[in-house]
Amino acid sequence: MNYNPIGIGLYSLAGVYGKKDLSKLKKMLLYAVSEGVDYFDMADQYGDSEEFFSQIIGKYRPNIQIATKLGINDKGVMDCSYDNIQRACRKSLKRLNTDYIDVYQIHFDDSNTLIKETVESLEDLKKQGLIRKYGLCHLPFDRIKEYLKNGNPETLMIEFSPIKINKYLEYIELFRGNNIKFISHGSTGRGILTGKLKRNIKFEKEDIRNIDPQFRRGLLSSALKILDEIKQIAEIYNKTPVQIALNWIINKEGTYKALVGCSKIEHLKENLGAKDWIMSFEHIKRLDMFVEEENRKIKNIVMDDIKVILDEKEEKDMNIIPDLIYVLDGIAEYCKIDNSLFMPMFKRIQSLKKIKHNYKLEISNIKKELRSYIEI
């Protein structure tokens, strides 16, 4: 079977993009297998993704790689302890109705468990034949280095696309020094790089993009500039913008798979049109230079946005919630705050929806704490 650099992510089954037509999704997955797509990524936290995927594996199991993730225990706490990894793996195997997992990934960091303990459990799963290899996702740089020192993770999932290159630039030396392979998520810029989303698009109520910083302020403006450049190159090759974006990703050093989250056959067909050809050196360089120049500007743009938001008068407007998330995300990206601060603050911002009294005071307190993160 020929190598296919496009993989499919099942994050949408967590309900993050609103309701999905499961019958169309099932048809898309079966079509994907028939077209040689061999890498499917899910997680024990993505709704019923593992159970759903088990329904379509059947006779195709020998020809596909199943990648799933763990990290949160039954109490909703980050837990990469030896025992929890053993339990979680066996639960995933049961839900997937399979004897082994091809790529078992640490989803989030557990700062309370020694990495040596986590690695020992993963290595034991390999010895038991329950997993083929293991990888990492969403971990701080220093923790990834510690995993590489203590174990043998073979894949690293990062957000990577022409509109998001920071993690790739930060981690590329890890690939060169350790031969760890990149799995890109957010490869289509959450739909922006399809060129089909309008600036003021209204998503379904449950769609996480309603609060996604990428769809707000300077981040969105920067992404649309990059999209315009991609569209110009797409015309030269008679391709669509997303095909240019995906082709750029899969031909980057270190990339093993570019995940797409399509749920319809026609979207998958378009995405698969990104492989089996390559842009000229001239056009790759052109896009590289444009993307890198925009990336150099974006930190100042986002930090200016953050200052505006934090200086704004507190109003009882639910628009403040995505704006505060924009601030938190920007601080996490550019001020490198400790991972342990991010999720508690994210939940605190989200809880503003439920506050009926002292709303403005809580917003003021949140802004004060966010300012303190910038000063750390």
Mean pLDDT of the chain: 90
Residues 256 and 335 in one domain: no
- Among 69, 320, 292, which Cα is nearest to 163's? 292
Residues 49 and 95 in one domain: yes
- Among 180, 186, 183, which Cα is nearest to 157's? 183
Residues 322 and 265 in one domain: no
Q: What pLDDT score was predicted for residue 258?
A: 97
Q: What pLDDT score was predicted for residue 316?
A: 56
Collapsed DSSP state (helix, strand, coil) of residue 269: helix
Q: What pLDDT score was predicted for residue 11?
A: 81
- Where a domain ends, among 256, 279, 302? 279
Answer yes or no: is 288 within a domain: no
Q: Say how far apart CA 369 and CA 244 lie, in whole Å.
A: 41
* CATH code, domain carrying 161: 3.20.20.100
CA 203 to chain centre: 19
Is residue 44 predicted with pLDDT exceeding 90?
no
Contact predicate 153/135, CB 8 Å: yes
Tokens for 324?
A: 């505060």
Residues 118 and 255 in one domain: yes
Residues 110 and 219 in one domain: yes
Q: Say how far apart CA 83 and CA 94 lie, in whole Å.
A: 17
CA 351 to chain centre: 24
Range of the domain at 152: 6-279
User: pLDDT band at residue 18, thresholds of 50, 70 and 90?
Assistant: low
SS (H, E, C) 132-172: EEEEEECCCHHHHHHHHHHCCCCEEEEECECCECHHHHHHH
What total of structural domains would you count in the chain? 2
User: pLDDT band at residue 16, thresholds of 50, 70 and 90?
Assistant: low
Residues 257 and 334 in one domain: no
pLDDT one-digit tens code per residue, 166-212: 999 999 988 888 879 999 999 999 999 999 887 777 887 878 888 89
Residues 169 and 243 in one domain: yes
Residues 177 and 223 in one domain: yes
- Where a domain ends, among 254, 279, 304? 279
Is residue 342 predicted with pLDDT exceeding 90?
no
Answer yes or no: is 286 within a domain: no
Residues 119 and 194 in one domain: yes
Q: In the chain, pLDDT over 70 holds for what percent of residues?
A: 97
Residues 80 and 190 in one domain: yes
Element containing residue 9 per DSSP (H, E): strand 6-9
Answer yes or no: is 304 within a domain: no
Strands 101-106 and 131-137: parallel
Residues 135 and 15 in one domain: yes
User: pLDDT band at residue 98, thresholds of 50, 70 and 90?
Assistant: very high
Residues 6+ apart with CB under 8 A from 366: 324, 345, 348, 349, 352
Over residues 31-58, mean pLDDT? 88
Answer yes or no: is 294 within a domain: no
Answer yes or no: is 301 within a domain: no
Q: What pLDDT score was predicted for residue 169?
A: 93
Answer yes or no: is 179 within a domain: yes
Q: Say how far apart CA 222 and CA 271 lie, in whole Å.
A: 23
Q: Say how far apart CA 3 and CA 41 lie, in whole Å.
A: 17
Residues 135 and 195 in one domain: yes
Answer yes or no: is 51 within a domain: yes
User: pLDDT band at residue 221, thresholds of 50, 70 and 90?
Assistant: very high
Tokens for 287?
A: 């896009």
Answer yes or no: is 297 within a domain: no
